Structure 1
Amino acid sequence: MPSRAVKRQKIEPEPVFLLKHNAFADWAKDEQDIYIKGVKPAYLKGRGMGLVTSRKVRKSDELITVRPHSMIQPDPELFESSAKISPQAKLAFTLMSMDLAEDHLYRYCSSVWPDRKDFEGSLFWYDVGEDSKNEPWWEKLPPVVKAAASRLLDDFHRDIEALKDMKTALSDSIKPATFIYYWTIANTRSFAWKPKGQKKGTMVMCPFLDYMNHCPSETGCTVKVNDSGFTLIANRDYNVDEEILATYGAHSNDKLLVHYGFTVPASSDDSISLDAIIMPHLTQSQKQDLEAVGYLGNYNLTPDTNELCFRTQVALRARCLTSNEWEFFMNSGDDIATDQDADVRRDLAVFIQQAATTRATNEKALQEAKNNLPDSADAKRACFELILQRCDQIESALTKFCEVNPPLQ
């Protein structure tokens, strides 16, 4: 999916290729029984496709409804009841099966999906294959980005092995280089759905609703989910040609970058991981104490408010408080004696500055990797630009924190 911005966008004149999206909208209404009122697909310059209003819309208007019979759902006949296959893998395998069978529904829906080149230009891990983690630049990624991408690729390879274990003619033919497309479509465009009475949830495709772009939580339209399907409801009044947005979840820009291939500048949902900054300053004993109470790792700064999460405050106090003082803070959120907040924030600012050289060296290496790409590698160059954009966001947030909390000289 394309980059998601939360500001109203100027809608450009319809390019020729938009005709297929309008035809798809007509097909979705007329043949798939998808309720569409007051919205249409639109090309947003520099960002790709999105959803905009085609007329004035009032708050609480229902804009799109996708019922179960209009969804693409995993085909249960493809899987053994006991097969331990993830919901995403089931949907991806179903999509591959539909494509190979030249399925009518798949043909229409896939005509407006991103193609492989789109993914190669937005998801830095997409085309690197089995040896992705051996790329020289991989170790230079921001630690949390690298960890998220590694987990995603591990999930992908685990799903492939689970599908191959079914020992069917179709599953035996799975190749990572081709299956990754269906798997990525499922990862970027599907919706989680659990009808009443169903023991396990599933991942489904909702045609036309997936034009909807992302915005930070509590800032866009509402998606109501129930046994009857998915309904998009306007959160406010809209004029003609305003973009319709809804949240995919309260995700940091690290997750958005890895899973969807974009970031949202100044997002209220963003967080900056501090693990690589704080962990080196904890003794083994302090790490053991933190692990014992469930507070080891997952330390974050919220750039929107410049605040530290409670886990971070607990970890920083583990370095300077007595046992009783530390336990009191964990249980109450208050310091038993002198307020330590300013001190621990200054300590963190020192740690941030001490790690600045490493961050700058890694970013320089990423920039050099981008500069050394051949002229024909436009897609990979675009990926590096997104990574470097995230590096700049991280550095900006850390710099701001240090400016507000200057270390003692």
Structure 2
Amino acid sequence: MHHFPSSAGPEHEKFTEWAISQGVEINGVAPAQFPGQGVGIAAQRNIDVGEVIIRVPIGLMLTTKSIPSKFREKFPDNIPVQGLYAAYICCTEEFQEKFAPWRAVWPSRQDFEDTLPILWAQRLKGIKISGPSYPLLPSSISGSWNTIAKRPIKCAYTAEHQNLLPEQEKRFDKAYRVIKQVFQDIDKDTYTYYWLIVNTRSFHHIPVGTSAPEDRYDAMALCPFGDYFNHIDEGGCEVSFNDNFYTFKTSRAYEKGEEIFISYGNHSGDVLLTDYGFIPAQNKWDDLFLDDIILKDFSSKDIEALRIDRYLGNYRITSEGPCYRTEVAACMKYMTAGDWNSHILGYQPASFDQRKTNLIIAAWIRAYIHESEVALSKLTALQQDGKYRGEPQLKIIYTRWKQIIELCNGALKAVVD
């Protein structure tokens, strides 16, 4: 029997009533306050597997189809969808009046400042300012390192789960530039808040009759009441949509009082922190990438060979060990060009040495552990600085670096044992 959580509060009860009046179907669940976790969806009774617990009419959602054409036509065709939604929420009385009960339960600006790296001070983010740089955020987020010098890579490639914060800032800046051309007096802080509302609360959605956009960030919609769900790495509700409804259906049974989750996607801890402002204690999808550590020591010729054979970058490790791409990169460190080419074609040359490969990978992983330890020592020093003592951001960053060390130790064990 689960301890029944407390009510989320009167504003949430009012929003629930409003949602029902707008056609949202709510079956056996309600928003509730979970200690230490904030508001989520709780079972109000025992719920069976396969029950539809929430159905939101597509017509109530904020989608590319629901933005009035008069508003849409103010902007160029290439405006990012996320930027368009934020502008519509920020700049139209129509939205603000109709959805006032929904807006009343959204996070505050202070909530975002406490949890989202994009709003943290430059010293915490690790982006270079006057004087020394302080790369405190994990390298996958900040793109910065304390212990290595990144090598400029002339061959561009799509890096997964890396440079997350600089890429997010680019997306925001692009949207803001476009919006500023139309609404010249728009307040940047206000627009930033609504852009983050969209970024943290959107659901995957492709309107019926349209093709999937090239940019995954353009395949999104805002879903009233559905945005109460918190994230879990696996075993969350089944989420689907058709012409009429966005539907949430249980994938297992729940007891009364139990929190019900959905999965936001197979995301690493760094992605979840950057985009949503939290780090789960358990995450089967957590990973790290060793690109900057590995590529800094390769010659331009080697990097070109990796590019030609499609092995440039995205060298992933998990707590279970390294990926095949990482092994391929390690083999290049000691094989001749001919042997390496044979190896990637599936023919194992006589020079292949699993122990040697593992030792090279182990050194790369230890470099990441060293980076983590240096970052933690800087964090400890900052925590002792009266100016930053007690800030929630420091605790979040500290927790993430500890998780990174644990993941690296798991990967190290896989190649050393």
TM-score under structure 1 normalisation?
A: 0.86
Q: Distance in 1 between matches of 2:307 and 2:254?
A: 49
Moved more, 349-358 or 114-123: 349-358
The one-letter code sitting in structure 2 at the alignment partner of 1:124 is: P
User: 2:10 matched to which residue of 1?
Assistant: 19
Q: Which of 223, 226, 246 pairs up with 1:206?
A: 223
Deviation at 1:356, TM superposition (A): 4.2
Deviation at 1:12, TM superposition (A): 3.7
For residues 290-329 of structure 1, what are the structure 2 equivalents within 5 Å?
290-303=306-319, 306-329=320-343
Question: 2:5, 2:42 within 8 Å by CA — same for their partners in 1?
Answer: no
User: 1:160 matched to which residue of 2?
Assistant: 176
Q: 1:67 to 1:137 in 2, by over 3 A?
A: farther
Q: Which of 86, 92, 104 pairs up with 2:86?
A: 92
Deviation per CA, 1:9-45: give whole Å up to 9, x if none.
754433xx6222122112211x210011011111111
User: 1:174 matched to which residue of 2?
Assistant: 186
* Structural RMSD (CA): 2.7
User: 2:153 matched to which residue of 1?
Assistant: none
User: 1:144 matched to which residue of 2?
Assistant: 140
For residues 354-369 of structure 1, what are the structure 2 equivalents within 5 Å?
354=367, 356-369=369-382
Question: 1:137, 1:369 within 8 Å by CA — same for their partners in 2?
Answer: no
Gaps of 5+ in 2: 143-162
Deviation per CA, 1:240-299: give whole Å up to 9, x if none.
111111111111111001111111223111102222332233333222211222222211
Deviation per CA, 1:215-263: give whole Å up to 9, x if none.
11x4211101222231001001111111111111111111001111111
Q: 1:113 to 1:355 in 2, by over 3 A?
A: closer
Q: Distance in 2 between matches of 1:391 and 1:403?
A: 18
Q: Distance in 1 between matches of 2:30 and 2:299?
A: 57
Q: Describe the SS at the equivalent of 2:6.
A: coil
Correspondence 1:276 to 2:272: no
Correspondence 1:223 to 2:236: no
Q: Distance in 1 between matches of 2:306 and 2:235?
A: 35
User: 1:126 matched to which residue of 2?
Assistant: 119
Deviation per CA, 1:310-364: give whole Å up to 9, x if none.
22122112212233432343333x7344764443222211233355444322222
Q: Distance in 2 between matches of 1:242 and 1:196?
A: 34
The size of the alignment, in residue pairs, is: 385
The one-letter code sitting in structure 1 at the alignment partner of 2:70 is: E
User: 2:145 matched to which residue of 1?
Assistant: none
Question: 1:11, 1:45 within 8 Å by CA — same for their partners in 2?
Answer: no
Q: 1:340 to 1:42 in 2, by over 3 A?
A: farther
Q: Describe the SS at the equivalent of 1:64.
A: strand
Q: Which of 95, 98, 104 pairs up with 1:105?
A: 98
Question: 2:29, 2:41 within 8 Å by CA — same for their partners in 1?
Answer: yes
Q: Which of 60, 65, 81 pairs up with 1:70?
A: 60
Deviation at 1:96, TM superposition (A): 0.4
Give structure 1 regions of 4+ aligned residues with deviation exceeding 6 angstroms.
none
Question: 1:273, 1:298 within 8 Å by CA — same for their partners in 2?
Answer: yes
Gaps of 5+ in 1: 1-7
Q: Distance in 2 between matches of 1:340 and 1:243?
A: 49
Q: Distance in 2 between matches of 1:37 and 1:105?
A: 24
User: 1:400 matched to which residue of 2?
Assistant: 410
Q: Distance in 2 between matches of 1:336 and 1:68?
A: 57
Q: Which of 261, 264, 270 pairs up with 1:248?
A: 264
Q: Distance in 2 between matches of 1:154 and 1:9?
A: 44
Q: Distance in 1 between matches of 2:299 and 2:205?
A: 44
Q: 1:355 to 1:104 in 2, by over 3 A?
A: closer
User: 1:4 matched to which residue of 2?
Assistant: none
Q: Distance in 2 between matches of 1:104 and 1:310?
A: 54
The one-letter code sitting in structure 2 at the alignment partner of 1:105 is: K
Q: Distance in 2 between matches of 1:96 and 1:355?
A: 42
Question: 1:11, 1:42 within 8 Å by CA — same for their partners in 2?
Answer: no
Deviation at 1:95, TM superposition (A): 0.8
Question: 1:9, 1:44 within 8 Å by CA — same for their partners in 2?
Answer: no
The one-letter code sitting in structure 2 at the alignment partner of 1:330 is: I
Question: 1:141, 1:366 within 8 Å by CA — same for their partners in 2?
Answer: no
Q: Distance in 2 between matches of 1:38 and 1:343?
A: 58
Question: 2:14, 2:101 within 8 Å by CA — same for their partners in 1?
Answer: no
Identity value in percent: 27
User: 1:388 matched to which residue of 2?
Assistant: 398
Correspondence 1:79 to 2:72: yes
User: 2:154 matched to which residue of 1?
Assistant: none
Deviation per CA, 1:91-119: give whole Å up to 9, x if none.
11111024x55733331111111010110
The one-letter code sitting in structure 2 at the alignment partner of 1:59 is: V
Q: Which of 238, 250, 254 pairs up with 1:238?
A: 254
TM-score under structure 2 normalisation?
A: 0.84
Deviation at 1:83, TM superposition (A): 3.2
